[in-house]
Structure 1
Amino acid sequence: MTNKLYYENVYQSTFVATVTKSEEDYIVLSETAFYPTGGGQPCDTGTINGKIVSNVEEVNGEIRHYINDSIPVGSKVEGIIDWERRFDHMQQHAGQHILTAAFVELYGYETTSFHLGSEKVTIDLNVENISSQELEKVEQLTNQIILEHRKIETVWVSKEEVNQYPLRKTLSVEENIRLVIIPEFDYNGCGGTHPQNTGEVQALSILGTERQKKKTRIEFVCGHRVRKQIHDKTTVISKLTSLLHAPQNELETNAIRLIDRNKTLEKEIKSLQDTIFQYEALELLKDTIKVGNHRVVQTTFKDKGLQELQTIARYVLANDPEVNVLFVSEINGKLQFVCQREQAAINMKYLAQSILPVINGKGGGNEKKAQGGGEAKTITSDALLTMLLHQLK
């Protein structure tokens, strides 16, 4: 069994050990300070003899260090932990313990899962809704515990000794039981890494919530990540004050005003586009042609999408429901087409299906209205329209 140095001294960042097993992509050591992934906490990274340790996992009782090279069994190696990452994880994990205990202390909300991400940390609570007032009080209590610099203790206990402690939740193991304790506040079974006192967590900030079925997910950050959040948000606010020509306390009002104005402009643009489409439809009707016994409004477009083609076709048919409409457009290196009619007798679905293989395309529709699109590599929009017209004869 590998000696787990991260449990003996969580602040140890370098160590010397012997390689006891060497495989193609991982090695096992006689002892290690590298914490393996587990319990919602990611693994430590760093180097072994200068080789990057990309992942650490505990599999069947052995701690595997994944590196891009092999090191012979029996070799003495030096391991160096990425201390910045380790301490960040210590801050986040300890903060999670305090936050989880605060939710239980104030409202009885229990944590059902925990995830420590690279930027944010989340816990899921067994409650559907949490008010902003509740979040504020929990955050206040959490930061109060942090500022009190309370000790964070770890003890190994037997199954029989567990009953001496007021644990927050039932343990998932019955042997090698490790408790993480903040005296008179939180008692919890945990195998993660934590600092010696709550003060090293520095601060905790709740970022937001998200509904997860019948649970609520809480997003938060601790320690150095709080400072990064403040820096990033300050940078964004500074840019917004410049862009909106408004002080910070007026940003929301100015943003709402800008959004409302944009919605108004979008409506005006849509109205103008509809007017243009109606005009195009009337102009196209002037050039109606006859193919066999069928009257047809047909043309090719540049850079018009399916929705635009369908809108123009609708306006054409609103003015003359007895014509057939055949439109083809080339847009973003692709061909798109619309086949549409109202009172005419042509089956537009069959017409569309007849040309899809030519453009290696996909499409669908019904007897009155069909559309599709495909490649523009082997045929031009004009040639594709000619094929559609040929099918009418």
Structure 2
Amino acid sequence: MSINELHFFLHCDTMLKVRSETMITEKLYDKDSHIKAFTAKVIDCRKNENGFEVILDKTAFFPEGGGQYADTGKIGEADINDVQIINGEIVHYADRALNIGEELCCEINWEQRFRRMQNHSGEHIVSGIVHKLYGYENVGFHLDDDVTIDFDGELTREQLIDVEKRANEAIYKNAKFTCEYPDEETLKNLSYRSKLELTENVRIVTVEGYDVCACCAVHVYSASEIGIIKILDFARHRGGIRVHLLCGKDALEDYEKKYENLRSVATVLCAKQNETAQAFERFSKEHSALKIELAALKRELAQLKASAMENTDECILIFEANTDMNDLRKLVLNGAEKTEKLCAGFSGNNNDGYRFAIASKSIDLREKSKEITSALNGRGGGSSELLQGSAAASKEEIEKYFKENF
């Protein structure tokens, strides 16, 4: 287990244990996860280096824990950007001071909270199914742009497809979620998933027919609120497997983006959407064949250009708009056979600069390399017979340099 994972597990354990011990704030989120707005009294407000720490007599703001980020929202006119449990207190981090004793309207960023509940509750269903079918433990959970679950055993793509199907069946059945604190005797006889040994004040989240797990986070009332569970990807991870998934609104938005991409690709390929893979495979084969044909034509063209060159005792300069370096090298190597000096080829334009290749049978280009690249305001290198690189000089400056120096 990594240090980060251990820290996460211990933090969750701490949250589970302090719920009913030292806190002076009534935890509305523990009683009802769907409270969006409420009124509360400010019982403390103290300044810190980044703003203010606010303590309320009651709160529906969920403090970070159990792999789920803290809620954000407003308390009166103050923006709340984080909520943490610090030394047994639920601390709301505000951007401005609030008057102690004042009753204020509080509002949670419900869109954000609900999406997180959908994803976290979906994770419980998936983890419960994997545990029942294969006995694997969820040893790591992270909720960010997508949900990642780390299991301590490997699963195949076919097995994960089956897990996804079963998870969505839980939604169709509208499996109920219940959250409770069993007494010590009940807890002893209860079989539940937990990353640590817990003995008191343990909050148990049950998904009817699918999962029983110790968890301090807020969840949906029933699986129908999740809407959809979609496994996106998976990969081997530390001897087990890491699964990426999305649930609810996040899964729907992900589908919409991918559908639009698929529709665009299908349009470009002139194919039906359910036949894009086959159409792309055909396109890829045709593209590869055309690349081979194009390479052959370029070789033939280079040979024709070289054949068209007349023998000369002057430098041969060739300017091309867009020729790759391989073809440029072949062209100047052939051209070097026709001159007593050198053949220099340039591909590009005055605005973007040029790539160049220079070949010679009579001049040691390695000795001339620094002089040439400096004169062309460029860089490059090579052998005694072939020099290549890039140049920022204009066509006129290049022609002038070679005319005056070779």
TM-score calculated relative to the size of structure 2:
0.74
Q: Among 119, 123, 136, which residue is 1:92 paired with?
A: 119
Give CA-to-partner distance per residue, 1:144-199, whole Å, 9 cap, x none.
Answer: 33333333233457999865443434328888754433366433333322113333
Q: Secondary structure at the match of 2:126?
A: helix
Partner of residue 140, structure 2? 113
Q: For the structure 1 residues 210 and 170, does the alpha-carbon distance in structure 2 shift closer, same or farther, using more than 3 Å as the test?
A: closer
Cα offset, 1:372, TM superposition: 2.9
Cα offset, 1:36, TM superposition: 4.2
Cα offset, 1:239, TM superposition: 5.2
Partner of residue 16, structure 2? none
Cα offset, 1:51, TM superposition: 5.1
Partner of residue 309, structure 1? 328
Partner of residue 49, structure 1? 76
Q: CA RMSD in A?
A: 4.0
Cα offset, 1:139, TM superposition: 1.6
Unaligned ranges ≥5, structure 2: 1-22
Q: What is the CA–CA distance in structure 1 between the aligned matches of 2:378 and 2:84, rounded to whole Å?
A: 50
Q: For the structure 1 residues 246 and 305, does the alpha-carbon distance in structure 2 shift closer, same or farther, using more than 3 Å as the test?
A: closer
CA contact 2:55–2:92 (8 Å) conserved in 1: no
Give CA-to-partner distance per residue, 1:266-307, whole Å, 9 cap, x none.
Answer: 333333333333333444x437544xxxxx433444454545
CA contact 2:312–2:338 (8 Å) conserved in 1: no
- Which letter maps to 1:383? E
Q: For the structure 1 residues 298 and 141, does the alpha-carbon distance in structure 2 shift closer, same or farther, using more than 3 Å as the test?
A: same
Q: What is the CA–CA distance in structure 1 between the aligned matches of 2:326 and 2:168, rounded to whole Å?
A: 54
Q: For the structure 1 residues 242 and 373, does the alpha-carbon distance in structure 2 shift closer, same or farther, using more than 3 Å as the test?
A: closer
Moved more, 244-253 or 202-211: 244-253
Listed as ranges, the matches of 1:181-192 within 5 Å are 181-182=206-207, 185-192=210-217
Q: For the structure 1 residues 259 and 27, does the alpha-carbon distance in structure 2 shift closer, same or farther, using more than 3 Å as the test?
A: same
Q: What is the CA–CA distance in structure 2 between the aligned matches of 1:131 and 1:255, rounded to whole Å?
A: 26
Q: Among 339, 348, 353, which residue is 1:335 paired with?
A: 353
1:346 aligns with 2:360: no
Partner of residue 286, structure 1? 310
Give CA-to-partner distance per residue, 1:181-224, whole Å, 9 cap, x none.
Answer: 33664333333221133333233122333455754332322223
Q: Among 380, 383, 386, which residue is 2:397 paired with?
A: 383
Q: For the structure 1 residues 159 and 265, does the alpha-carbon distance in structure 2 shift closer, same or farther, using more than 3 Å as the test?
A: farther
Q: What is the CA–CA distance in structure 1 between the aligned matches of 2:36 and 2:127, rounded to whole Å?
A: 28
Q: What is the CA–CA distance in structure 1 between the aligned matches of 2:384 and 2:197, rounded to whole Å?
A: 62
Q: Secondary structure at the match of 1:218?
A: strand
TM-score calculated relative to the size of structure 1:
0.76
1:12 aligns with 2:38: no
Q: Secondary structure at the match of 1:35?
A: coil
Number of residues of Structure 1 aligned to a counterpart in Structure 2: 377
- Which letter maps to 2:356? V
Q: Among 295, 298, 305, which residue is 1:270 paired with?
A: 295
Partner of residue 388, structure 2? 371
Listed as ranges, the matches of 1:1-393 within 5 Å are 3=25, 4-15=27-38, 16-18=40-42, 20-23=45-48, 25-31=50-56, 32-50=59-77, 52-53=79-80, 55-58=81-84, 60-61=86-87, 69-72=95-98, 74=100, 77-118=104-145, 120-127=146-153, 130-156=155-181, 164-171=189-196, 177-182=202-207, 185-212=210-237, 214-235=239-260, 244-283=269-308, 285-286=309-310, 288-290=312-314, 296-304=315-323, 306-316=325-335, 324-331=342-349, 333-341=351-359, 343-348=361-366, 351-354=368-371, 356=373, 361-373=378-390, 376=392, 379-384=393-398, 386-387=400-401
- Which letter maps to 1:309? L
Partner of residue 293, structure 1? none
Q: For the structure 1 residues 311 and 148, does the alpha-carbon distance in structure 2 shift closer, same or farther, using more than 3 Å as the test?
A: same
Cα offset, 1:93, TM superposition: 0.4
Q: For the structure 1 residues 25 and 298, does the alpha-carbon distance in structure 2 shift closer, same or farther, using more than 3 Å as the test?
A: same
Q: For the structure 1 residues 174 and 337, does the alpha-carbon distance in structure 2 shift closer, same or farther, using more than 3 Å as the test?
A: farther
